[in-house]
Structure 1
Amino acid sequence: MLAMIVTSCEKDPDMNKLDSDYSVYTDYDNSVHFNEFSTYYLPDSILVPDNSLKANYWKDENAQNIISAVAHEMEQKGYVRTEDKEKANVGIQLSYAQQRIQITTGGWYGGWWDAGFWGPYWGGGWYYPYPVTYSYDTGTLIMEMVDLRQPVDQSNQNKLPVIWHAYASGLLYGNSHFNMQLTLNAVNQAFAQSPYLSNKQ
């Protein structure tokens, strides 16, 4: 699902003005019954991947505001946050793209994202059980929900399936300055257009 949200522009004589709109895209594994989940694990930092094999993490006040917004939306959907990922049914990975990223897969992605970035949190590989072809522009927030339960498919027993995926682009001033309010609005929009995530009866 793709939503376009039009926002007002600031009057500014140079190019450092707010982009006139932003987009929020969501997708999910429609074979998953989200009402079976009750707990989730959300790290206290946001992954900032690059072309190196080193994982970089965003942990400042802005990052905490985004994480808090995601936690609030998960609570509204009926989930309880746990700090013990061994007790969590699902995990939420937040990433922020500082450079353009291209992902193309027919259901398993073992390339760019599998560079060891997930190790500190999840300890397993990563795959989309549904076809994925996405291009993430600079300044894109990416949200991914993975199933942390024992995999049913034993061929993927060491890999974690992405069961919900969202990204928001157009979050910059003049293609260079991060805009927090747009980002928080985008988090809200991603969950608003994903009613199937609710586990409330």
Structure 2
Amino acid sequence: MKRFTLLLSLTLVLLSACRKEPDLSKLSSNFVVQTDRDPNAQFNTYKTFYISDTIAYLSSNKNDTILVDNNAKQLVAAIRQNMESRGYTFVARNASPDLGINTVAIKDITVGVVYPGYWWGFPGYWDPWDWGWYYPYYYPWTTTYAITTGSFIIELVDVKNAQANQKLDVIWTVNLNGALGSAATNTTLAINGINQAFVQSPYVKAQ
């Protein structure tokens, strides 16, 4: 029975190894969009909002603080357009807006090492049965990889009730995550993610 279980397990491993690998370009074609809300927030009680035309920026470079380029302006414009389409009115910061919007962009580089095994990359040269299933057998080299990923965070902050509560409550949060490419591609994906965040949050509306 034990031998049968072992053979079954090894067969499943071999079958899974023979499956066609997914297209990585498709896996990173869109950002993952996550949204969360304060269940007690009444979004239709807010009428006005303010958002800065700059975006806070965090990366491995300690000198990075804010984004002020055209890409940042496009992201801000996408958020503002979606808010206005939901019935909210943009006002100046000193006009006592009901809602404030925080935006943060984060760039992260993940470095890893792959230990591929002796005959890695040469199909048909390695038979696990001949080697007695002593895998990994030998590691003559390693492969290092680096993946640049990013997050874009949006926070909808209750400013209207801040004085009464003596605190700023975040009533809606958006988190976009994905692999980064060129600046233009990143901006396009982020705008698509922003639009999707509003689509999957129908409760964010002034009336």
Q: TM-score, normalised by structure 2?
A: 0.62
- Indicate the residue corresponding to 1:168 in structure 2: 176
Structure having the higher Rg: 2
- Indicate the residue corresponding to 2:77 in structure 1: 68
Give how far 1:83 is off. Answer: 1.4
Number of aligned positions between the proteins: 147
Corresponding residue to 2:186 among 179, 182, 188? 179
- Indicate the residue corresponding to 1:103 in structure 2: none
Alignment map for 1:31-50 (pairs within 5 Å): 31-49=40-58
In the alignment, is residue 195 of structure 1 matched against residue 202 of structure 2? Answer: yes
Cα distance in 1 for partners of 2:77, 2:206 equals: 20
Provide structure 1 residue ranges, at least 5 long, that are not aligned to the other structure: 1-6, 11-17, 101-136
Q: TM-score, normalised by structure 1?
A: 0.63
Bigger share in helix:
2
Cα distance in 1 for partners of 2:35, 2:57 equals: 20
Deviations 1:93-151 (A, max 9, x none): 11101238xxxxxxxxxxxxxxxxxxxxxxxxxxxxxxxxxxxx941110000000233
Alignment map for 1:1-201 (pairs within 5 Å): 9=25, 19-49=28-58, 56-99=65-108, 138-151=149-162, 154=165, 157=166, 159-173=167-181, 179-200=186-207
Answer whether contact 1:41 1:85 (CA < 8 A) is retained: no
Answer whether contact 1:139 1:178 (CA < 8 A) is retained: no
Cα distance in 1 for partners of 2:180, 2:59 equals: 19
The residue type paired with residue 77 of structure 2 is S
What RMSD over aligned residues (CA atoms) do the two structures have, in Å? 3.1
Answer whether contact 2:60 2:107 (CA < 8 A) is retained: no
Equivalent position SS for 1:166: strand
Equivalent position SS for 1:98: strand
Answer whether contact 2:60 2:108 (CA < 8 A) is retained: no
Answer whether contact 1:140 1:171 (CA < 8 A) is retained: no
Give how far 1:60 is off. Answer: 0.1
Cα distance in 1 for partners of 2:184, 2:72 equals: 15
